[in-house]
């Protein structure tokens, strides 16, 4: 339980930081003169930018928790890498999808959900492939060191 709590705290911090940075970047890229934590249309649903930002920080924290705690799946040494990946992908997708919708990143309709799913799978595959290459290189390095010791 302690490990999950620590991962959740790390997720809150990282999720909030990444959400804030991305929202600042998108505000600038969209030529906004004011800060918007999400789209201007989504932000307009609230009594002010401060309320929208507070809700956004809460959602970003939840997103961070989903990905951070979900990553604990990869610590299961009795599971195959395929099983870990499928479980992690499922947790990440079904945890992230409703939060992305709540954030106003896209409307709740089938076409947008299909587009989101495609984008999610492409990004997931890229990140997974990079992590697998890093792990493979770490294993090679460890094996080299073990071979040199014998």
Question: Minimal CA–CA distance to 103: which of 28, 9, 11, 18?
Answer: 18
Average pLDDT of the chain is 93
DSSP structural state of residue 72: G
Q: What is the pLDDT of residue 17?
A: 97
Q: What is the pLDDT of residue 32?
A: 83
Q: What is the CA radius of gyration of the chain?
A: 19
Q: What is the pLDDT of residue 34?
A: 86
Tens digit of pLDDT for each residue in 55-83? 999 999 999 999 999 999 999 889 999 99
pTM (two decimals):
0.86
Question: Minimal CA–CA distance to 15: which of 52, 70, 89, 90?
Answer: 70
Question: Minimal CA–CA distance to 36: which of 23, 18, 51, 48?
Answer: 23
**Interatomic CA distance for residues 90 and 103, integer angstroms:** 20
Average pLDDT of 110-128?
96
**Interatomic CA distance for residues 98 and 26, integer angstroms:** 21
Tens digit of pLDDT for each residue in 2-28? 999 999 999 999 999 999 999 999 988
| SS3 label, residue 60 | helix
Region of residue 18 (left: phi > 0; alpha: psi -120 to 50; beta: else): alpha
Contact 52, 37 (CB under 8 A): yes
Q: What is the pLDDT of residue 106?
A: 85
């Amino acid at each position: 339980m302690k490990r999950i709590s620590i991962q959740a705290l790390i997720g809150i911090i990282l999720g909030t930081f990444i959400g804030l940075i991305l929202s600042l970047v998108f505000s600038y890229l969209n030529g906004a003169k004011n800060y918007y934590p999400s789209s201007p249309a989504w932000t307009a649903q609230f009594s002010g930018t401060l309320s929208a930002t507070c809700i956004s920080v809460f959602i970003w924290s939840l997103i961070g928790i989903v990905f951070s705690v979900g990553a604990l799946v990869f610590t299961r040494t009795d599971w195959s890498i395929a099983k870990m990946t499928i479980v992690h992908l499922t947790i990440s997708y079904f945890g992230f999808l409703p939060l992305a919708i709540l954030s106003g990143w896209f409307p709740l309709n089938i076409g947008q959900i299909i587009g989101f799913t495609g984008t999610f799978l492409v990004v997931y595959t890229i990140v997974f492939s990079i992590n697998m290459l890093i792990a493979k290189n770490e294993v090679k390095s460890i094996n080299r060191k073990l071979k040199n010791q014998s």
